[in-house]
Structure 1
Amino acid sequence: MTRTPRTGRAVVVERPGTHRLAEVPYTPPGPGEVRVAVYAAGICGSDREVYAGTRAEGYVRYPVVPGHEWSGTVQEAGEGVDPALVGRKVVGEGFRACLVCDRCREGAGSLCTGGYDETGFTRPGAFADTLTLPARLLHVLDDGADLRAAALLEPAAVVAAAALAAGPRPGERVAVVGAGTLGLLAVQFLAASSPAELLVVDPRTGHAGRALTLGATEVRGPAEAEEVRGRYDLVVETAGAPTTARDSCLLARRGGRVVLTGLPGPGAAGIDPIHLTVGQITVRTVFGAPPAAWAHAVRAFASGLLAPASLITHELPLEEFAAAVALVGGGDPAVGKVLLRP
């Protein structure tokens, strides 16, 4: 007797502006792979870009199942994978690094020279009932972990990469530019370093106000922040708005440090090289997160140092993908992190 093949649901973006909720056939995980039952998947600005068709060329391949921020439980392990993983709560890295280039051998998989390849952009992502990926990308969570909150560990890993690059020290004056998901997660990480001041800059008073409950000592709009330019030992930029990279460098004191994590569109305001040189300002950038940053974020989550659940404001089913994307891009100050729940 032949059994009917199992199927699952997945949001497929066929091309910009066109998507469908598809029934996809079950395929077992291959050697070295696992199949994960997705519990929750977060929507971010890059998913909105995929749907709108504004993501940079080479960084998406249509048709695609989006979803790079996710949490779930291992359902099945492929050949060569420890069967003890089945049933464990997990999150997973997105970059499919080649593992053989010089950058990969340094442990910097997000700088892989083998070409860009990432879950949710060039590979099927987590806006689906299940997700298949290499087991080496998994980070196992405690059995009691909150999978709803864990869906935010991908952006938390990006912030962890910024924190590791920044090297915050107790007693420093610190500023975070942007109070979206990345910014509010950055506040939690940086507050743990016991700064003397922790300023958050964002034009949205509602978003910035949340930062005060997470460890910020002050919030300002961009205009008010001009009054404190040149004050901060460390500035972490998370907004990716047209002027925020430039403004972040202006907030830094002489000899200060700036870490840029946002991705502005074409035409963003440039950073003055004379200001950087004369002020001896160190600028670092972050794109994605290497394994060390993921491990740092997962440890912070397990210890309770990182508590992302409060950032979640909306949870929608897969069928409401378009509505969820509209929420993320709608500008409503009441909208925080939006999750899709299979």
Structure 2
Amino acid sequence: MKISQLVGPRTSEVVAAEDPVPGPAQVLVEVLASGVCTSDIGPWLGHDPAAEPLRLGHEIVGRVVDSGRDAGRWKPGDLVTGLGGEGFATLAAMDAHAVLPVPAGIEPAHALGEPVADLEEALSRTGIRAGDRVAVVGLGFMGLGLVQLAKRHAPGLLVGVDPDPARRERALRLGADLVFAPDELPEEYRTQTTRAGDARLAVVLEATGTTGGLRTAGSLVRPFGTLCVVGYHHTGDAMMDMDLWYKAVTVVNGFCPDRTRLMAAMRDAIGLIAERRFSYEPLITHRFGLDGVDDAFRTMTEAGPDFVKGVLVL
């Protein structure tokens, strides 16, 4: 097989390697698509050339070509997606208990199970209800996915917040009712202005991964509301405004370390994809080949107005 591996900062190479042999509870898949995730930017930017090469790619869609003795429910030719690793390759071994079938009629690049499972699992713990006033702060890939997922719960108001006008326009097309730049938010969304009611939001979904975005998100939550931190806060202290304490806000950690919960969320999310109630089509804006891993990460870091998410298509 061929596999892309990091050999230094911002430097990948495609090498030949032995085909993986699936373990007893694994399936071997021919990789058809593999999403490029922001969580891998750090390793791509700073991989030590003296260290062993690093193999990335965990958002896999593939065609089963072989299976271990305890994975017989999967047959050659089955299209699957799920939780995996070393997916920037032509072949990948995956846990047979951590893959699900790709819905009929959905192309592989639009069937990435892992990212939408992360979003759906996080959203499931917010207690969102029909009629709730909801905001999504940060309208990149994760935020736009959350707009789609939140919309199906019939919020009374769905607000998108992002400084980029192109991202705000996309959010409107995907179901947001109103969009604002952070410095243009109505004052009543941040403070209680009347005794008759509070215009702040019941559920706020933070998807920026920045302390500034987290601060904006916290300011929008009403007393006894919920702030869900979905953004990938991999650097800095991610300080929270102590006003959340005085407002008795419930803070939900959007990260889920439990594979069982993620697979349950993935099952639900793939069902939404099958029903065309969630779509990757407006989110996958850039495609690359196996030799384009560095281009994919470079495009992500530059994040021009036409970029949402990149996928390797093999």
Tell me the TM-score normalized by structure 2.
0.90
1:129 equivalent to 2:82? Answer no
Structure 1 residue 142 displacement after superposition: 2.8
- The match for 1:91 is 81
- The match for 1:122 is none
Report the AA paired with residue 132 of structure 2: E
- The match for 2:251 is 283
Residue number among 43, 47, 63 corresponding to 2:40 in the alignment: 47
- The match for 2:5 is 12
1:267 equivalent to 2:236? Answer yes
Report the AA paired with residue 239 of structure 1: T
Q: Which runs of 5+ in 2 are unaligned?
A: 192-199
1:298 equivalent to 2:270? Answer yes
- The match for 1:105 is none
The 5-angstrom pairing of residues 209-248 of structure 1 reads: 209-225=169-185, 227=187, 228-230=189-191, 231-248=200-217
* CA 12–328 in structure 1, closer or farther in 2 if over 3 Å, else same: same
1:249 equivalent to 2:218? Answer yes
Distance in 2 between residues matched to 1:283 and 1:26, nearest whole Å = 44
Report the AA paired with residue 253 of structure 1: R
Residue number among 274, 282, 292 corresponding to 1:320 in the alignment: 292
- The match for 1:35 is 28
Report the AA paired with residue 98 of structure 2: L
Distance in 2 between residues matched to 1:252 and 1:330, nearest whole Å = 31
Distance in 1 between residues matched to 2:52 and 2:164, nearest whole Å = 34
Report the AA paired with residue 212 of structure 1: L
- The match for 1:336 is 308
Report the AA paired with residue 19 of structure 2: Y
Structure 1 residue 224 displacement after superposition: 1.2
Report the AA paired with residue 246 of structure 2: V
Aligned residues between the structures: 299
- The match for 2:67 is 77
Report the AA paired with residue 91 of structure 1: T
SS of equivalent to 2:282: helix
Report the AA paired with residue 335 of structure 1: F
% same residue: 31
* CA 49–62 in structure 1, closer or farther in 2 if over 3 Å, else same: farther
Contact 2:8 2:47 in 1 (8 A): no
RMSD: 1.9
